[in-house]
Amino acid sequence: MSSAELEKTITELAAPTKGILAADESSGTIEKRLKSINVASTEENRCNYREMLFTTPGLGEFISGVILYEETLKQKIKDGTPMAQVLSRQGIVPGIKVDKGTAPLANFPDDSVTQGLDGLANRLAEYKQLGARFAKWRAVLRIGEKIPSQSCMVENARALARYAAICQELDIVPIVEPEVLMDGNHSLERCAAVTEQVLHAVFHALHQHRVKLEHMLLKPNMVIAGMDHRPQASPEQVAKATIACFRRTVPAAVPGIFFLSGGQSDAMASANLSAHNVWPERQPWCLSFSYGRALQTPALKAWQGSAANVAAAQQALYKRARLNSAARQGKYTAAMEIAF
């Protein structure tokens, strides 16, 4: 293990004015996204879409890393440049999603467990050759009356820890992503209770598997009410509950927390992140973003699969990246939505 290499990657990813773009939608998810703009999910269209995103002029001003799906890491843009190199040229660190999605957890209806540990070390070695310097593994925890079960939390935490240990052996920074879903009508308090339990299980497992906390990043959900719950909490209430939860569960040795957006609207994801960064208490970790939908949705809508719309789509992505960079510094205001 080379601490210097891991530390260099973390320093670049956690740059004080930047965050991460999650563009690692699996085949099924990208099909859904492209279908929403009536574009067929062919390999060529997927490549064109990602080329549009990653060649956005100036993207590296606000984005420190991009998470890719395996297919994308192996693709080249039209001028023949490999995707990882397209990103490196922008000063952006290429990363890779390495889990293989979820499967039902036997005997625990509605709970799932993330797969992909078999052969992971070999796959990581190949991804590294292709330019990936960090990785992501997502565990999914759904809130329901009786879920997530303790077994679901323990098994997902164990898989996250084993993944993180393998990454660190290969000098790839692991992003550990336990996502408590926003789906449903549960309260913010219920999300807080579940997120706290999940993070306890995750950090216990990381300790058991000797994962070096200084050399990983956390990608959690914010503590937020379910999407169907009314009323929704204000950004200040979300920040207060989220910070309280992390202070109880996330050791100070973890250098950075990069939120997922999880179905929040673009503006809500920016306002909520900003509220965390103006919080009066100083936190031991940086609080940044690793957004998928909250960065991409306006660009996807503007693009519509047409080369004629590339510049407009790139402007839309640039704007969201810029606004989230402001939020990462606690400087986002709703007025910026119009001014920028």
Q: Interface residues with ligand 13P (CB under 6 A)?
A: 22, 138, 177, 260-262, 291-294
Task: Of 83, 37, 45, 24, give the one whose Cα is nearest residue 219.
Answer: 24
DSSP assignment of 118-150, as one string? TTHHHHHHHHHHTT--EEEEEEEE---SS-S-H
- Residue 177 annotated among the catalytic residues of the structure: yes
Q: Which is nearer to ligand 13P, 60 or 292 (CB)?
A: 292
Residue 260 CB, nearest approach to ligand 13P (Å): 4
Smallest separation, CB 124 to ligand 13P (Å): 18
* Given the residues 18, 97, 136, 219, the one annotated as active site: 219
The smaller minimum CB distance to ligand 13P, of residues 225 and 294, is found at 294
Cis peptide before 16 (omega within 30 of 0): no
The two three-digit tokens of residue 90, written as one number: 């922008």
Question: Rounded to whole angstroms, how far apart are CA atoms 261 and 294?
Answer: 6
| Residue 219 known to be catalytic | yes
CB 95 within 8 A of CB 66: yes
Closest to ligand 13P by CB, 293 vs 328, is 293
CB 2, min distance to ligand 13P, A? 26
Q: Which is nearer to ligand 13P, 5 or 100 (CB)?
A: 100
CB of 177 to ligand 13P, least distance (A): 6
Kind plus residue range of the DSSP H or E element containing 242? helix 235-249
* Active-site option among 177, 179, 196, 319: 177
Residue nearest to ligand 13P (CB): 292
* Residues carrying an active site annotation: 177, 219
